[in-house]
Structure 1
Amino acid sequence: MRAAPKSVRPALLGALMAVAVGIPLSTSPASAASAQEMNGHWAPFSRCPVDDPAMLAADGRTDIAICVASHSESGSIKLGNTLATTGANDLQFGVVRNTATGESRIVPPAGGAIVGAPTEIPGGLLGLMCPSGIPVVSDICKQLTDNSLNRVVATVQSAGTPRNFDVAAGMQSGKTIVDIPVRIHLENPFLGSKCYIGTTSDPIVLRPQNLTQPAVASKRFDANGTANTGGLLNRIELTGNSQGDAAFAVPGVSGCGPLTLGELNWAVNLKTALPSAAGKNNLVLNNAATYTGGLASPGAAAPNAGRLLSESWHAGVAR
């Protein structure tokens, strides 16, 4: 078993003294702040980037702009040899689809496409690093009698723009719906504020697919979100199914340690078996609900379809 470099130990142990004053843990993702409360059938699209220039420029004839939202209240994720339950997660983005080629360009909202609720890692830091025969780690393990020091909070964050969205795959089972690059923020006083599994340059790329066939429904509604069978807008609903991915790889951690220099990367990687190759990890999202929303007849609004979608979305914001 590899020991930590001796030069790290004095700095690490000195930093541990600072922990006694308390380091607060973040409990909500910053990107959630940009969400709007929406009325009626607009409700799932609280972060749709309707004001992005690419969405506004969609004319409705050559390019069509739509909103996409997918939500799951719970699930599970296995990374290496660590298994944790997941809290609610919300994936949203805009899509500009070219009618001639069928190509879909994804437009992420400000703050990133995915917002995940923080969840606790079972066993906390004791589970991630302890027990250990390595002096610098065993010194930390001895101090984890206080639950607030042992607690590790994990939050999934966007690590880039989603790619390869396939709306047809969302209506089937067994086909990749979208590629989602993410990183996972691990928060604990001993791990510092910059401890991540995955990075923006080397993310975890999730490729969820429906594990069961979803129920499909369509609803028309007015700009303010009110149901109307002849309404200007249309929402397609894919519900009642689970989604998952068992083929993604997981890189090692980075930035873990009270000095945020990665001085504990090796300890976390060693105990959790990271990096972990494709096929050794698993994600399941329970009772997923996926929605697409946009103008029912975008061609009739050409060349101002994108602007009409934006105006309609703003009309649906709860007052």
Structure 2
Amino acid sequence: MSTPRTRTRLATVSALTALGALASLGTATAAEPRLNGEWGPFTRCPVDAPAMLAADGLAKTPQCVVSTSASGSIKLGKTTVVTGRTNLQMGIVQNADGTSSVVAPPSGALIADSATVPGGLLGLMCPSNVPVITAICKSLDNSTLNRITATVESVGAPYAFDQTAGILTDLPIVALPVRIHLENPLLGGKCYIGTAANPILLRPENRNYPEFGMSFFSGDGTPDEAGEMSRINLTGATQNDSVFSVPAATGCGLDVGLINAAVNAKTGLPSASGNNSLTLNDTRTHLSGLNAPGTVAPDAGKVLAENWHSAVG
């Protein structure tokens, strides 16, 4: 018969592997705290969120998750962008019935380096038979105004999290609503592919099984084989989603959509499912939680938060 600690670890592995699929482009945030030892990667865990603090350790168990990827690519319609460093962080509340819920940090689940769109504005909308666009195209040759950056932003909390899919391959793990911010002086400040009301909905899947490792530590992050905390480490997995659809770009050009048509025509948007893909290489995912959350019930969430804060500095 499996022990409660064994069952907790198995659930933890499920959550950890699943969220490893989500590392993708995101938005920049303010300076993050430095955490001691094994807590080091968990700089944005939402330990103070009401849902995390309310987790009692019996019916609900709180955990912290971070997943990173150094490289990857995203294809939207006719355009493929190479991604840089990415970082996903969130809390997971494991429920006694086997379900779980995702708690995103206040700043959103995703952060990452912005990516450069190949060809810039020239590649994105030129040539064009629209007079105003043609004039812009002529002014862009060899201009620094040509550069476009793309940043994927969360536009809602992740949902439909499936623990079982997290330890298997080729099954959707979670639904992640995002939008992509295209930035260039001539595009204005509100040029987006996807919106909060009509987001790009990523449902990543594992394409291979990650390598597994585990460590133990005290509440403040100091390594300790007899510590009250554990950290699971999964490395080397590749994740992919090739079934999401992509809506048209909006708000491009002086914030009134003057260049929407040119951007959408050149990029091939809107783009139906099957014409787009996300690939993330060598994801590295870590999950931390209390080894025996039931022993501190009903205060497991509070103890997790206290431990996290004790490691800051």
- Superposition TM-score, scaled by structure 2 size: 0.89
CA-based RMSD of the aligned residues comes to 1.5
User: Would the aligned equivalents of 2:27 and 2:110 in 1 still touch at CA under 8 Å?
Assistant: no
1:94 aligns with 2:88: no
Offset at 1:220?
1.1
Alignment of 1:277-292 (within 5 A): 277-292=272-287
Structure 1 residue 49 corresponds to structure 2 residue 42: no
Shift, 1:271, TM fit: 0.6
Shift of 1:232: 0.8
Give the Cα separation in 1 of the matches to 2:174 and 2:238.
15
Q: Give 1:270's match in structure 2, choosing from 265, 288, 303.
A: 265
1:72 maps to 2:79: no
Secondary structure at 2:75 match in 1: strand
Instruction: Give the match for residue 159 of structure 2.
Output: 163
Mapped partners of 1:170, 1:119: distance in 2? 27
Q: Which of these residues, 177, 181, 188, is aligned with residue 173 of structure 2?
A: 177
Helix, strand or coil at the partner of 1:44: coil
Q: Percent identity?
A: 51
Identify the residue that residue 55 of structure 2 maps to in structure 1.
58
User: Normalized against structure 1, the TM-score is what?
Assistant: 0.87
**Change in CA separation of 1:151 and 1:131 when aligned onto 2, cut-off 3 Å:** same
Q: Which has the larger radius of gyration?
A: 1
SS of 1:260 mapped into structure 2: coil
CA distance in 2, matches of 1:71, 1:29: 11
Deviations 1:284-307 (A, max 9, x none): 101001222111110011011100
Residue 40 of structure 1 deviates from its aligned partner by: 1.8
Is residue 171–residue 216 contact of structure 1 (8 Å, CA) maintained in 2?
A: no
Name the structure 1 match of 2:120. 124
| 1:1-319 paired onto structure 2 within 5 Å | 31-33=28-30, 35-99=32-96, 101-257=97-253, 259-317=254-312, 319=313
Runs of 5+ consecutive residues of structure 1 not aligned to the other structure: 1-27
Distance 2:41 2:204 in 1: 19
Q: CA deviation at 1:169?
A: 2.6
Query: Whose RCO is larger (CA < 8 A, sep 6+)?
Result: 2
- Deviation string, structure 1 residues 35-63 (Cα, Å, up to 9, x no partner): 32222211221100000111111111111
Mapped contact 1:172–1:214 kept (Cα < 8 A)? no
Equivalent AA in structure 1 for residue 211 of structure 2 = A
Q: Name stretches of at least 5 consecutive residues in structure 2 with no aligned partner.
A: 1-24
Pair 1:134–1:31, CA change in 2 (3 A): closer
- Compare 61-70 and 169-178 and name the one that shifted more: 169-178
What are the Cα deviations for residues 258-279 of structure 1, in whole angstroms up to 9, with x where unaligned? x201121111001110000011
CA contact 1:220–1:231 (8 Å) conserved in 2: yes
Q: Is the 8 A contact 1:166 1:176 kept in 2?
A: yes
